[in-house]
């Protein structure tokens, strides 16, 4: 009899613990859903804005990539190959941006919340994260390319082969692959109230990779800065002679250097603006107020359009390739071509 009573007490205790645990889990789940819904309503308008923005960037950069690839001359030129890689990177970013926004909207429409596992978030953010990292890597490669062209012009023209460019592009892709693999091995099945590129893996890995990306960007800016100074010094030595000065500008490809530096500077500026907003947002104690500030950090994606415009208006061959590509479209077949006058880019990217 006593044994039965003890067993009954134990069963009741276990049942009570299960009920308490279920109540706790239900409460946590309700809080997670509430947080998810709150975040969604804050960024809802941005999601709707990101889709058309992503489509515009995807079409612009995708078309630019195709224009270079299908241009028999430009695709054999080293610097244009890197410019093409940069355009492809922004195309991938745009695709990821669209997928992320659509995924968020679909989840909310189906489940009335945006709760997602970290593993699924990792998959959803892969395109966006890969593209952004490729943008940073390719900007660094273009900086190194220009640096070599200025410091060792003879070696650059005679010994720097096209296969070497393909090799460094391969290493950039390998870096991205290793980065994603590192995140993959630190992914868990925890539930997230919302999915962003900063939440698709463990916090430590994400911060570590952010630091590496920032270091690469700083190195890129420093390389451009030092190279531009070197060009200015060389031009200063011949500025008295107009003919020699013009010849030096052509040999040093100063306009191409400034164009690529301007592109990197614009990206760094928008990125810095995003970091400042994120820092300000992190000081807010209320998470919803914090998100209202941090959401505008998405301005970084506008650089996909800025990059295209910089290349289009400052690089004549790039513009010419775009027009040639447009001419292949039947409706635009009679599009008038602007005569291309040989410029410093003609030899700069050979």
CA gyration radius, the chain: 26
pLDDT attached to residue 139: 92
User: Does residue 345 have a pLDDT over 50?
Assistant: no
Per-residue b/e over 331-349, b at no fewer than 16 CB within 10 Å?
A: eeeeeeeeeeeeebbbebb
Q: Is 4 inside a domain boundary?
A: no
User: Does residue 250 have a pLDDT over 80?
Assistant: no
83: Cβ contacts below 8 Å, ≥ 6 apart: 68, 142, 311, 315, 318
For the chain, the average pLDDT equals 79
Handedness of CA 136, 138, 142, 147 (dihedral sign): positive
User: Does residue 167 have a pLDDT over 80?
Assistant: yes
Q: Is 230 inside a domain boundary?
A: yes
The predicted model gives 63-76 an average pLDDT of 89
**What CA–CA distances, in Å, run from 37 to 33, 106, 193, 285, 345?**
6, 13, 8, 19, 52
Q: How many domains does the structure of the chain reveal?
A: 1
Q: Is 335 inside a domain boundary?
A: no
Q: Distance (Å, rounded) from C-alpha 311 to C-alpha 316?
A: 8
Q: Is 77 inside a domain boundary?
A: yes
* pLDDT band, very low/low/confident/very high, at 21 (cuts 50, 70, 90): low
Pairing state of beta strands 191-192 and 116-117? antiparallel
**What CA–CA distances, in Å, run from 164 to 102, 171, 267?**
39, 11, 26
Give the global pTM.
0.84
Nearest to 136 by CA among 63, 194, 214: 214
pLDDT attached to residue 47: 84
Residue 21 sits in a domain whose CATH number is 1.20.1070.10
Q: Which domain holds residue 170?
A: 15-329
Percentage, residues of the chain above pLDDT 90:
24
């Amino acid at each position: 009899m006593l044994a039965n009573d003890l067993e009954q007490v134990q069963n009741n205790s276990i049942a009570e613990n299960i009920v308490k645990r279920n109540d706790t889990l239900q409460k946590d789940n309700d809080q997670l859903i509430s947080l998810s819904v709150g975040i969604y309503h804050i960024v809802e308008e941005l999601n709707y804005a990101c889709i058309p923005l992503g489509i515009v960037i995807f079409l612009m950069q995708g078309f630019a990539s195709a224009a270079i690839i299908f241009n028999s001359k430009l695709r054999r030129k080293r610097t244009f190959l890197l410019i093409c890689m940069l355009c492809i990177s922004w195309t991938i970013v745009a695709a990821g941006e669209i997928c992320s926004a659509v995924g968020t909207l679909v989840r909310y429409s189906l489940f009335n919340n945006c709760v997602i596992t970290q593993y699924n978030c990792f998959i959803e953010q892969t395109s966006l994260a890969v593209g952004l990292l490729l943008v940073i890597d390719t900007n660094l490669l273009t900086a190194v390319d220009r640096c070599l062209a200025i410091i060792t012009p003879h070696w650059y023209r005679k010994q720097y082969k096209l296969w070497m460019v393909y090799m460094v592009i391969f290493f950039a892709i390998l870096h991205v692959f290793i980065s994603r693999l590192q995140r993959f091995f630190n992914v868990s099945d925890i539930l997230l109230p919302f999915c962003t590129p900063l939440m698709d893996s463990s916090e430590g890995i994400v911060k570590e990779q952010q630091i590496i990306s920032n270091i690469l960007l700083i190195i890129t800016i420093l390389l451009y800065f030092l190279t531009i100074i070197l060009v200015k010094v060389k031009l200063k030595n011949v500025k008295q002679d107009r003919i020699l000065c013009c010849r030096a500008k052509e040999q040093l490809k100063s306009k191409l250097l400034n164009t690529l530096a301007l592109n990197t500077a614009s990206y760094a500026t928008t990125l810095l603006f995003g970091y400042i907003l994120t820092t300000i947002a992190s000081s807010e104690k209320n998470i919803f107020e914090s998100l209202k500030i941090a959401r505008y950090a998405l301005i970084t994606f506008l650089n996909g359009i800025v990059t295209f415009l910089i290349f289009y208006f400052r690089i004549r061959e790039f513009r010419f390739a775009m027009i040639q590509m447009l001419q292949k479209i039947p409706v635009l077949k009679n599009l008038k071509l602007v005569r291309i006058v040989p410029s410093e880019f003609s030899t700069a990217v050979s």
